[in-house]
Chain A
Amino acid sequence: MSIRFENVTYVYGENTPFEHKALDGLSLEINEGEITGLIGQTGSGKSTIAQLCNGLYKPTSGTVYVDGTDINADKKKKKENFFRVGLVFQYPEYQLFEDTVEHDIAYGPKNMGLDDNEIARRVSDAAHFVGLDAESLSKSPFDISGGQRRRAAIAGIIAMEPKYLILDEPAAGLDPMGRDDILTKLKKYQREKGTSVIIISHSMEDMAKYCDRIIVLGKNGVYKYGTKAEIFANPVALRDMGLSVPQITKMMYRAESLGVRFHRPLYTVDAAFEDIMKMLDGEDAK
């Protein structure tokens, strides 16, 4: 099961002077049960893809399949898909509107027509996953910190228990610990629930640390879909697409030009530390 785009074109403002083709015949498939990173230059269509996945946008041509179903085939399928694919927008905390955090998280499940017990269970589960305690649940969304608001907004989508969870820059604007915290929680959520998580981000460091697989969008559709090692193996191609590799990977390539030999590409600090310790201890000598 997967999310699959078949020859999808999406045009903004069709037949207006502002007509703009965001996607042109895009085909891609995103595996289930992993954390997938979606990277690409500004304007490469990442956010458009996110909104096509949950049916907010309908392709101008082509088809979006979720678990084999054309999500735009009819109204019923569209509605079902809306709950199957949860979408967390950029800066979602600006969309909180209820009187308490708890009511805000409950908004989605309520719209699904669930009974009160089930809603309560889901709110409590979702709050637990993002690390919001009972005290903050009873507060107004305007009386908690920015980082907590972000977590509340994510919990609101998690509470719908979507099979696919898409997050557009979930860590943007957070301080380093806030970034790590939210991404670690998402990874834990993915591992425990088996939900497929898709993260859009501009941070190569975060992508390297938290994703299982990465999709690189170029100007002409998907440039590459692969493991981190496959993606970060070609820094020149990434650079040409306005992207980059993590700082630690840059350092590795630079060190190679000075004669250092690594056993594998490095894209996290932990992996680099582990390998360099081995090299220094001489366990690599063969």
Chain B
Amino acid sequence: MDNIIEIKDLSFSYRDPDGTLHPALKNINLSFGRGTYTAVLGHNGSGKSTLAKLINMVLTREDGDIDGTITVCGKDVTGELSDDEAYEIQRRVGMVHQNPDNQIVATTVEEDIAFGPENLGMDPKEIRRIVTDMLKAVGMEGHEKSAPHRLSGGQKQRIAVAGVLAMNPECIIFDESTAMLDPQGREAILKTIDELHRRGDVTIITITHYMNEATDADRVVVLNRGEVFMDGTPEEIFTQVEKLHSVSLDVPQVTELFYKLKKAGKYSGKLPLHTDEGAEALAGLLKKRGKLCPSDLKM
């Protein structure tokens, strides 16, 4: 598969003004195929955000010592790049941050989304089309003239996503983009991510502390103390409950329940990750023991 991002033997240490080094990433080897959807998990300080910031060139050699290479769209972003090349990388790899209030620049939604394309010197007619299309892509059509500060957190985040999409990126990194949202806002962003993923042309990397969100990805990468600790499908990762607990992480509630039932010797099937799977497994379990009797619903 064609990789949009290839990380080889990457180590990174933050450098204090006095020269002291703080290691953040150690010997990372990871690649991200085009069109894939990966969730990156890890405890606070595990290096998740550092990794994202290096890919997106928010962190450079000015901020610390870099060993190894990060090849993004064929270019090593840890090397010397011209300003034009750097802008081009940041256009191709967009980022949506945690706080919706920190990434909206204009006083109306359409101006905000048009901000990037305008800077690229695009034709106004083309910009108009992009604004309309991008709002549609994030389910916010009709909000062109809205004032961003009047929108809810989830709506603001979707505007931020639309702004990134307007640059026609090949990859979007969501850095804890749902952390400050209410359940509905979170659901809206996850739905947007899911739709982008289904379109197939955008590579998605999400960094999150919510295990439920990671179950929707194709692949889960777990970082621990700056190193890759686990890498697999959500099924492969979340069924290793004890291993995740050992690095301060968790599993979805449904998985945890069946893990407990398994430990108690009551369940032997595969651990479910999703609500529906869990409900079906539970019904199956009770049926097998003759405890499920739809004709005798009242006990």
> Residues on A close to B: CB < 8 A?
18, 20, 40-43, 145-147, 169, 172-179, 202, 204-205, 239, 242-244, 246-248, 250-252, 254-255, 257-261, 269, 272-273, 276-277, 279-280, 282, 284-286
Contact = CB atoms under 8 A, between A and B. Distances in A.
B183 A258 contact: no
Nearest to A285: B299
Contacts of A246: 253
B282 A247 contact: no
Nearest to A248: B253
A261 B211 contact: no
A284 B296 CA distance: 14
A156 B246 CA distance: 30
Interface stretch (B38-46, B88-96, B231-239): B38-46
B188 to A, nearest CB: 10
Contacts of A261: 297-299
Contacts of A276: 257, 261, 266, 282
Interface string B174-189: 0010011111111100
A18 B279 CA distance: 48
Nearest to B272: A251
23 contacts: A41-B184, A42-B154, A147-B44, A169-B180, A175-B44, A175-B209, A202-B186, A242-B152, A242-B182, A243-B184, A244-B187, A246-B253, A247-B253, A250-B275, A251-B254, A251-B275, A258-B283, A269-B257, A273-B264, A276-B282, A277-B266, A280-B285, A285-B299
Contacts of A41: 152, 182, 184
Contact of A280 (B183, B211, B286): B286
A252 B286 CA distance: 13
A18 B249 CA distance: 42
Nearest to B297: A261
A176 B248 contact: yes
A262 B254 CA distance: 16
Interface of B: 42-46, 98, 149-150, 152-154, 176, 179-187, 209, 211-212, 245, 248-250, 252-254, 256-257, 260-261, 264, 266, 275-276, 278-280, 282-283, 285-286, 289, 291-294, 297-299
B150 to A, nearest CB: 8
A31 to B, nearest CB: 24
Contacts of B256: 269
Contact of A202 (B44, B183, B257, B275): B183
A175 B42 contact: yes
B185 A177 contact: no
B46 to A, nearest CB: 8
A141 to B, nearest CB: 16
B249 A176 contact: yes
A219 B181 CA distance: 17
Nearest to B294: A259
A175 B292 contact: no
Contact of A259 (B181, B275, B292): B292
Contact of A172 (B180, B184, B252): B180
A244 B183 contact: yes
B283 A255 contact: yes
B84 to A, nearest CB: 35
Most buried by A among B46, B282, B297: B282
B152 A43 contact: yes
A246 B285 CA distance: 22
A38 B74 CA distance: 49
A252 B257 CA distance: 12
Contact of A282 (B98, B280, B291): B291
B279 to A, nearest CB: 4
Nearest to B276: A254
A172 B248 contact: no
B184 A242 contact: yes
Contacts of A259: 283, 292-294, 297
A285 B299 CA distance: 8
Query: Sorted from nearest, which 4 A-B pairs have the closest CB atoms?
Result: A176-B250, A242-B184, A254-B279, A244-B183
B45 A146 contact: yes
B282 A251 contact: yes
A258 B280 contact: yes
Contacts of A175: 42-44, 46, 209, 248-249
A286 B252 CA distance: 33
Contacts of A178: 43-44, 248
Nearest to B292: A259
Contact of B279 (A40, A172, A258): A258
B32 to A, nearest CB: 23
Given A145-B45, A202-B182, A280-B266, A42 B152 contact: yes
Contact of B286 (A204, A243, A254, A279): A279
A177 B182 CA distance: 21
A195 to B, nearest CB: 27
Contacts of B280: 258
A171 to B, nearest CB: 9
A177 B43 contact: yes
Contacts of B298: 261
